[in-house]
């Protein structure tokens, strides 16, 4: 292995700065980024705002959240912030602070913005972040230009299993929902 091959082999992907108990979110974002089809779908997302720079996404985020059409506006803002974050990660080295995406997540899911008595963000669960984020993204990320087909829904199906017992606990039924 020559010097340039060794240099490429040792290059680490761009990471995310921990902004104080945000490792749950960072792990989720970085894990999803490793799925090529998912990354491509996010990077191709076209929203009403500009996607050229992370700073522009920050400036566009608040009006879309405040004047957006409820959950649709929030879903668009979170998806656009994720797209801008991934663009920054694709173009950078070292670490990227996910300020805009964190703010969008806090507005979309207020429980992720809860703070301790000392004012720091509370610990959160990566699985909860995964489920909430994918639930929101499947609203805005169609696959291969097909608005009726959601790549997120197909690749990352979310199922809930319900057991229903009768009065004597002798009979039960499974019901799976998407």
Token pair belonging to 68: 């957006």
pLDDT of residue 10: 64
Residue among 178, 175, 102 nearest 135 (CA):
178
* 3-class DSSP assignment, residue 29: helix
Q: CA-based Rg of the chain, rounded to a whole angstrom?
A: 19
Structural contact between residues 71 and 63, judged by C-beta atoms closer than 8 angstroms: no
* 3-class DSSP assignment, residue 112: helix
**Structural domains of the chain, ranges and CATH numbers in brackets:** 3-177 (3.90.70.10)
pLDDT of residue 94: 81
Q: What is the pLDDT along the chain (178 residues), one digit of tens a residue?
A: 677 665 566 677 888 999 988 999 999 999 999 998 889 889 988 764 444 444 555 555 555 555 554 445 788 889 989 999 999 998 877 889 999 999 999 989 999 989 889 888 888 889 999 989 998 888 887 665 555 567 677 777 766 666 666 666 555 555 554 5
pLDDT of residue 33: 94
Structural contact between residues 162 and 174, judged by C-beta atoms closer than 8 angstroms: yes
| Contact residues for 109 (Cβ-Cβ < 8 A; gap 6+) | 132
pLDDT of residue 167: 62
Q: What is the helix (H) or strand (E) element at residue 164, kind and residue range?
A: strand 160-165
């Amino acid at each position: 292995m020559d010097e340039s091959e060794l240099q490429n082999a040792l290059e680490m992907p761009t990471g995310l700065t921990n902004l104080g108990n945000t490792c749950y979110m960072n792990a989720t974002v970085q894990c999803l980024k490793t799925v090529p089809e998912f990354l491509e779908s996010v990077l191709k997302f076209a929203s009403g705002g500009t996607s050229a720079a992370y700073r522009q996404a920050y400036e566009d985020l608040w009006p879309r959240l405040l004047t957006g059409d409820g959950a649709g506006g929030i879903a668009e803002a979170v998806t656009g912030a994720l797209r801008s974050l991934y663009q920054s990660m694709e173009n950078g080295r070292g670490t990227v602070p996910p300020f805009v995406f964190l703010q969008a997540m806090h507005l979309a899911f207020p429980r992720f913005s809860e703070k301790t008595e000392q004012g720091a963000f509370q610990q959160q669960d990566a699985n909860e972040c995964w489920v909430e984020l994918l639930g929101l993204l499947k609203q805005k990320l169609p696959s291969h230009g097909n608005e009726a087909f959601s790549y997120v829904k197909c690749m990352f199906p979310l199922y809930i299993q319900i057991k229903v017992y009768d009065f004597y606990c002798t009979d039960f039924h499974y019901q799976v929902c998407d």
